[in-house]
Amino acid sequence: MQKNPSPQHDRNGGKKCVENDGPVGSILSTIVKEDCEKIKVLVGSLTEVERNRSGLRRIHESKKCCLLETESNYQIYRNLELGVGVELIQASAEIKNDVASYIITNGKLADTLKSIVTKLKDAKEKFKELNKAADDLDTCKKDKCSCTQITILTGTAPHGCNDDQGRRTAACPDAEKILHQLIHKPELFLHEIGISLNSAADVAGIQTFMNLDSLNPFQDKFGTSAASFESYIKEKMNKGADDLKTCQTELEASVIELVKTDYIVYRKRNEADGEKETIEYLCCHKCECIVEVQGEDGKDRLKQCKKWICDICENVDNIYCDYPGQDGGEHDHDQSY
């Protein structure tokens, strides 16, 4: 025969529980002991996964920082390659073309200057001959034997010339001016051709010392250095791209592990909380829907429980089964519980 329940100490948030010493109480006590051992395991497991999640979060932050730093480093080399490396290689090619063009032009200039110097030398010799002819003409003009001829040509007798005819009409207009130019201009021409020859020779000498052929080794060395620099930058950029891909893959893996662990923690916590509430309920088990009815053989003791269960069924029915009918109205669900 079941003994009367006796008051028990507070085990449920300030509510006074009663302990049943009968068969039911013994069974519940056994279940509670088993659940207490079980909740210890659950709490330990929960603590383990929470600490594991904490470690995974630190790993995730580390992987995120690694990704950002690697991406920044990759962008530096990528921008350097696009802004300097590619430009440097193209500039090297353009310099090589320009140097080759300058050398060709310089060769043509050297040949032209040599030709000018040679022609000026020839011209100087011709002007020497012209100057000698002018000296001969001047000597002839001053010769007394030519006095009459000069007088006839110019219409004026030269100084020291005795001409009985006096002043005559010139046989040739401007003959005296022309003779003056023929005698004195060649000397000026010879002086000027000498200046031109000396200037051309100086320019040719300066052009020789320019030595543009020496630019070939320079541009070759520059091209080699530019290619080496660009290759180094490209190598670093490609390695940075590979490292960035690796960091991204590792970060994705850490995100996956962290999400999986979050859900494991959630499930473990639910298990522990459920077990805890079960123990609390079993330690202070009182079904509030059971009503003791006097004098009616207890046949309606579970009436309230039945009603609550029906309420649950109705709620589930409303959640999953309320949908518009084909006629636009709501389907009726007459259920008997």
What Å distances lie between residue 151 and 160, 174, 177, 277, 282, CA to CA? 12, 13, 13, 153, 161
Residues paired with 223 in a beta bridge = none
Per-residue confidence (pLDDT) for residue 243, from 0 to 100: 93
pLDDT at 61: 93
> CA-CA distances (angstroms) from residue 253 to 52, 57, 73, 262?
15, 12, 22, 14
**Element (H or E) spanning 241, and its range?**
helix 215-283
Element (H, E) at 214: none
Looking at this protein, which amino acid is placed at residue 69?
A: E
Task: State mean pLDDT over 273-293.
Answer: 73
Report the share of the chain in percent with pLDDT over 90.
21
- Whole-angstrom Cα distance, residue 136 to residue 307? 154
Does the pLDDT value for residue 11 go beyond 80? no
Cα 263 from Cα 260, distance rounded (Å): 5
What is the per-residue pLDDT across 63-109, written as a single tens digit (0 to 9) for each?
999 999 999 999 999 999 888 888 888 888 898 898 888 888 888 88
- For residue 149 the two structure tokens come to 């001829």
Alpha carbon of 26 to those of 135, 159, 174: distances in Å? Answer: 157, 170, 160
Please count the other Cβ atoms lying within 10 Å of the Cβ belonging to residue 219.
16
In this predicted model, what pLDDT tens digit does every residue of 155-191 receive, in sequence order? 676 766 765 555 556 567 777 788 888 888 888 888 9
Q: CB of 74 within 8 A of CB of 243?
A: yes
∠ CA 297-303-306 to the nearest 5 degrees?
140
What's the mean pLDDT in 187-214? 86
Tell me the domain boundaries of the chain.
Answer: 17-286, 288-322
Q: Could you tell me the two tokens for 33?
A: 């002991």
